[in-house]
Amino acid sequence: MKGLPPVVITAIVLVAGFAACAVQFPNIASTRVVGNLLTDNAFLGIVATGMTFVIISGGIDLSVGSVIGFTTVFVALAVERWGVPPLVAFVAILALSAAFGAAMGAVIHVFDLPPFIVTLAGMFLARGASFLLSTESVPITAPVYSTVSDFALRMPGGGRLTAIAIIMLAIVIGGALLLHLTRFGANVYALGGNRATAGLMGVAVGKMTVKIYMLSSLLAGIAGIVFSFYTSAGYSLSAVGVELDSIAAVVIGGTLLTGGQGSVIGTILGVLIQGMIQTYINFDGTLSSWWTKIATGVLLFAFIALQQGLVALARRPAAKHAGAAS
């Protein structure tokens, strides 16, 4: 598999970190804590899966946090104020966010603009639009919400695997399969290797760019719905900065920020590492929750340094595998 060594390192960091936490707070090693970890980070896992595709393809998507925020407000208003059935509201917002992502991808490709700028514009646009809808937090009281929130699979040890955690796991698995087993996935790596070369080799670069950003925004929309389940409310200020958390998760998961290498599995491990640090801080009780950010920052530095090291190693003159002449 591509990018295996960094993923392995990420996995080791997660397991070692979890073991260290468990030594200090034996209660952490329970399915209850793990279940909560998955539930609390469900939206982040979903959005980071989309971000993985974008970053492997050599791009970036800064708009996802705003799309989540917009989604929560839109869903809340549609269900509570406009009287739209929740399922219809979900379909509408997913179509809207997919179209939004497709438009960003098209702009990036057609005008040959840096994804950073285009998705930055998308970030302001979506956040501004959510304020336009409502500046207040809108509680959601629809019966579907309480049904879904109450649903959970019991795990041995008393843990609860909630619906949104299941959705997240399904999306991560689906994303991994899409990335590693399909032609679409191969093209994502090709784009990240070199756009021009990929085009010369027959990859439809424009279509791929549109599809990749569409996927990212669509997953941000799903993450928004999940977030509205998680908080039972829609608020225009929700998920501020989540784009950065998800980029951090992707990079800690061993995906090369310059594109071409990475994996969805690594990303979910990166999400879980961030969640684990948060859990540790909650258990400790005396630490400020901002320590999560500090620890994430330190980890990011460590992983970027590690990747640079690996890249430098790879650039050294490769051993010549001279094939046998016929």
Partner 1 sequence: MENSLGSAPSLLEVRGISKSFGTVRALQEVDFTLRAGEIHALLGENGAGKSTLIKVVTGVFPRDAGVVRLAGEEVAPRSAKSALQAGIATVYQEVNLLPNLSVAQNLFLDRQPMRFGIVREGEMRRRAKALLTGFGLDIDVAAPLGNYSVAIQHVTAIARAVDLSARVLILDEPTASLDRHEVEILFGIMRQLARRGIGIVFVSHFLDQVYEISDRITVLRNGRLVGERETASLPRLELIRMMLGRELAETTSARAAAGEHRARGVCASFENYGKAGYVAPFNLELRHGEVVGLAGLLGSGRTETARLVFGAERADGGQARVEGAPVRLQSPRDGVRHGFGYCPEERKTEGIVAELSVRENIALALQAKRGLYRPLSRREQDEIARRYIKMLDIRPPDPERPVGLLSGGNQQKVLLARWLATSPRLLVLDEPTRGIDVGAHAEIIRLIRDLCDDGLSLLVISSELDEIVTYSDRVVVLRDRAHVEELAGGAIDVGNILAAIAADGAAVALEAHT
**How many Å apart are CA 40 and CA 258, to the nearest integer?**
29
**Tokens 């950073």, located at residue:** 116
Tell me how far, at minimum, the Cβ of 257 lies from partner 1, in Å: 14
Site for partner 1 in 115-134 (CB under 8 A): none
DSSP structure class, residue 27: G
Q: Residue 318, interface with partner 1 (CB under 8 A)?
A: yes
Name which of 202 and 241 has its Cβ closer to partner 1: 202
Contact 41, 275 (CB under 8 A): yes
The number of helix segments (H) and strand segments (E) in the chain equals 14, 4
Site for partner 1 in 249-268 (CB under 8 A): 260-261
Coil vs helix vs strand at 131: helix
The contact pattern for partner 1, residues 187-206, with x = CB under 8 A and - = no contact, is x-xx-xxx--xxxxxxx---
Among 181, 294, 298, 305, the residue binding partner 1 under the rule CB under 8 A is 181
Tell me how far, at minimum, the Cβ of 182 lies from partner 1, in Å: 6
| Candidates 79-87, 92-100, 177-185, 218-226; binding stretch for partner 1 (CB under 8 A) | 177-185
**How many Å apart are CA 56 and CA 237, to the nearest integer?**
29
Name which of 87 and 322 has its Cβ closer to partner 1: 322
Q: Residue 182, interface with partner 1 (CB under 8 A)?
A: yes
Contact 120, 62 (CB under 8 A): yes
E-strand ranges in the chain read 138-139, 152-154, 160-162, 233-234
Residues within the interface to partner 1 (CB under 8 A): 2, 181-183, 186-187, 189-190, 192-194, 197-203, 260-261, 314, 318, 320-326
